[in-house]
Amino acid sequence: MPNNLYQTAVLGAGTMGHGIAQVMALAGHEVRLYDPQPQAHDKARQAIAKNLALCVEMGLNSDEQAASCLEHISHHTDLATACLEAGLIVESVPEDMELKRGLYASLEELVPPETILCTNTSALSISELARDLKHPDRFVGTHFWNPAQVMPCVEIIKGERTSLDTFERVVEIIRKAGKEPVKVLKDLPGFLGNRMQHALQREAMSLVEQGVASAEDVDRVVQHGFGLRLALMGPMERADMGGLDITLKVQNYLLPYLDDRTTASPMLEKQVAVGRLGLKTGAGFFEWPADKAARIVSQRDRALLSIIMLKRGLPKP
């Protein structure tokens, strides 16, 4: 295994990539951020500086730490230069199986067999992504949650041919970076978090389609109901606290009534077909004018950081 794990390349400077670069640089890694598009680097620099300013304002980082973080991130449009001497590479390019496989083929020509390769996919099979690799034992999934610089959870997914040594090494790297590594021991589509998240979304969309409640009220019952508990206890602990006998009775009664479709919601398909893709197009299930979108994202990040600080017992800024 490589000794230069603190020399890290992050491939892709988009929404997730620049956040991952920030996380690793704050942890003391020399980060080379790669993207073939110069404008992506301009946006990434601005986003990282803005993210760090918020962390400093809230007392999570000092001015010195923020300055050091920026100094530890270099920007590259050449893949070979970005990966030079890297002991750890984190890929964060779009969710396209063939695009990612093509990138890995290029990487295997550029880096030695001991370099650890990580993919930030949120759902694609780690084993399928590694299908054509010459050294699949050094390949592992690292699913950071959006926004990567804020959310503590990182799912570490072991592919069928990922070595135990690689898997445990990456778990420790992520832990030392201040994140909460979650071990996913079997490579299943969607891993842990997205399987549960999409099960919830399927039921939510079904309820709106049936006219049971508006999209606003479906979200409201989550935000002001059970969603408040989720930051403090997961579904397994909640079941224990509520009583497993009660949970058993409720499940036996309720589960037959829940949506069990294996295809996407027709309502979702209709929204996508007419170009209503959500925040990025200004409209989806809700309307997203630019000023509202910026305000909501800022409020979200501040609230998430406040919750994280509360859970860690840190003083309020």
* Backbone φ and ψ of 46, nearest 5°: -65, -40
Cα distances (Å, whole numbers) of residue 308 to 32, 42, 224, 305, 315: 28, 29, 18, 5, 11
Is 96:125 a contact under the CB 8 Å cutoff? no
* Backbone φ and ψ of 139, nearest 5°: -110, 130
At 226, list the tokens. Answer: 């059970």
Distance of alpha carbon 298 from alpha carbon 310, whole angstroms: 18
Cα distances (Å, whole numbers) of residue 4 to 44, 105, 168: 25, 22, 16
Candidates 103, 176, 190, 177; CA nearest to 141 is: 190
Which residues are catalytically annotated?
122, 143, 155, 194
Distance of alpha carbon 86 from alpha carbon 8, whole angstroms: 5
Distance of alpha carbon 245 from alpha carbon 101, whole angstroms: 47
Q: Would you give the DSSP letter of residue 180?
A: E
Helical segments of 160-289, H only: 164-176, 193-209, 215-221, 227-230, 235-242, 244-254, 266-273
